[in-house]
Amino acid sequence: MPPVPTTPATNDANALPRDTQSVLKLAAASMFSLFDQSSQGMLLVDRNARVVWISDGYRRLLPLLGFEREEDFVGHPVAEVIPNTAMHQVLETGKPILVDLISNKSGTFLVTRLPLRDESGAVIGALGVVLLDAPDATHPGSMQPLLAKFSRLQRELDDARAELAAHRRPKYTIASFIGGSGPALEVKRQARRVASTDATVLLLGETGTGKELMAHAIHAASARARAAFVGVNIAAVPETLLEAEFFGVAPGAYTGADRKGRDGKFKLADGGTLFLDEIGDMSLALQAKLLRVLQERELEPLGSNRVISVDVRVIAATSRDLGAMVREGRFREDLYYRLAVVPIRLPALRERLADIEALAEALLEDISRRSGLTARSLAPDALEWLARQAWPGNIRELRNALEQAALMSDDLVLTAGHFSAAAQTPAPVATAPAPAAPLPERRAAMERAAIEAALRSTGGNRVAAAKLLQISRATLYEKLARWPDLARS
């Protein structure tokens, strides 16, 4: 056992009677001995946070920490040999940590940490005591339930973090951008080229052309692929919340704010890629703040004076004409040039009709996988019909047409007739479009057609039909009440 640590000094320590000082020393020795006998192990660190001694009990814990020899542990900085240790905090503050749980790959431990002082009161080291060494330990008065609960919560937190990380990984690669036409190949060539750099990218194109897919693909092909991909749809976030969404919120920044604060999307994407979708919908006030972050690579959370450095690659996208918005004063010119370092325009579907067959096959496979329906294929006249359409909604509209035709027919081969009979049919290029029905009516017609097809497909079995439609039975019955003729069929 090492020399007994001296007791904390007071201003009049030298004035204490000699017998009182002796009692204090005996008390310190007794407490040290009691810790040694009743704990699972103890260790001492010096003022430099280096392990200088361990008890016999702690030697038995060394294999749990991955050490076979004592000399590989004693004499080394405590942070190197004990993951997640807080001994530095005790040395720096001089304050004890009486009860704490420490968790690492070796397990969960209940510990106490006490500062050690010399006669002048200066901190000269710290004593660490392992009170309980595993969540399944059984001792009189054991805190096993607390440790078990802590371990469970830690596992749930780790699982949640892993799931969140999985959501922030890129979902697509450049190969996911389907097509072998000239325009499609050119887009993929540009994407591969820009992915090898950290340049800011501006994706341009009509709605439904695959801008978000391409943003994922550029990130996946870049050196940042292992870091987070974080997306923000600016049009979907209320203007009043966008600043907090981007830059985060300091603890207690305003009434109702989280006391722990909240990281913004820039911080979450640090080291990775931030995708700003519908950048043309951003207000001029927020544009100025975004420009500063892009230029300085630093930000201030809402309600904070602390500057945070960030390393983020930005990919922006818009279906608007930003050049026209700049001329009209609705978009900052300096931000436009900062974003459009490498502009990539994604072609409309009507500009690459040669890709329709490959796109339709891939989309039908995905529709089959998601809906549980048997895979459908296209007859030659169906491909010809699809190639004659205007597709103002591009690939998103093509998917919609394929999904409707697949849901409303039991046939495994879809012909032109299946598409022309659909409730919502794209207008041919040569034909003037019919007046559009109100959206609620169109939605209701689609729902009715889908339910009718599902009931026909399942022979009137409502449970199977609800499962096929991926809705609850209660929802199906509620909708059938609107169409009594369907309910009787």
Mean pLDDT by 10 residues, the chain (489 residues): 51 57 74 75 92 90 86 91 86 89 72 89 91 54 59 66 58 91 95 94 95 95 92 86 86 57 88 94 92 91 84 95 93 95 95 94 91 88 92 92 88 88 47 51 76 75 76 78 70
Query: Tell me, which fold does domain 352-434 have in CATH?
Result: Helicase, Ruva Protein; domain 3 (1.10.8)
Q: Among 1.10.1200, 1.10.10, 1.10.3470, 3.30.200, name the CATH number for the domain at 436-489.
A: 1.10.10
CATH number for the region 174-253+260-347 comes to 3.40.50.300
Distance CA 191, CA 193 (A): 5
For residue 470, the model assigns a pLDDT of 74
Q: What value, to the nearest 5°, has the Cα angle with vertex 120 and ends 117 and 121?
A: 40
Query: The tokens 């998103």 sit on which residue?
Result: 396
For residue 357, the model assigns a pLDDT of 94
For residue 270, the model assigns a pLDDT of 92
As assigned by CATH, the class of the 13-143 domain is alpha beta
Q: How many Cα atoms occupy the beta-carbon half-sphere of 88 within 13 Å?
A: 8
For residue 252, the model assigns a pLDDT of 62
CB 369 within 8 A of CB 227: no
Distance CA 488, CA 205 (A): 47
Phi-psi region of 84 (alpha: psi -120 to 50; beta: other; left: phi over 0): left
Domain ranges of the chain: 13-143, 174-253+260-347, 352-434, 436-489
Say whether 317 sits in a helix, a strand or coil: strand
Distance CA 289, CA 304 (A): 15
| pTM of the model as a whole | 0.56
CB 389 within 8 A of CB 427: yes
Residue 32 Cα distances to 111, 283, 460, 468, angstroms: 15, 65, 79, 69
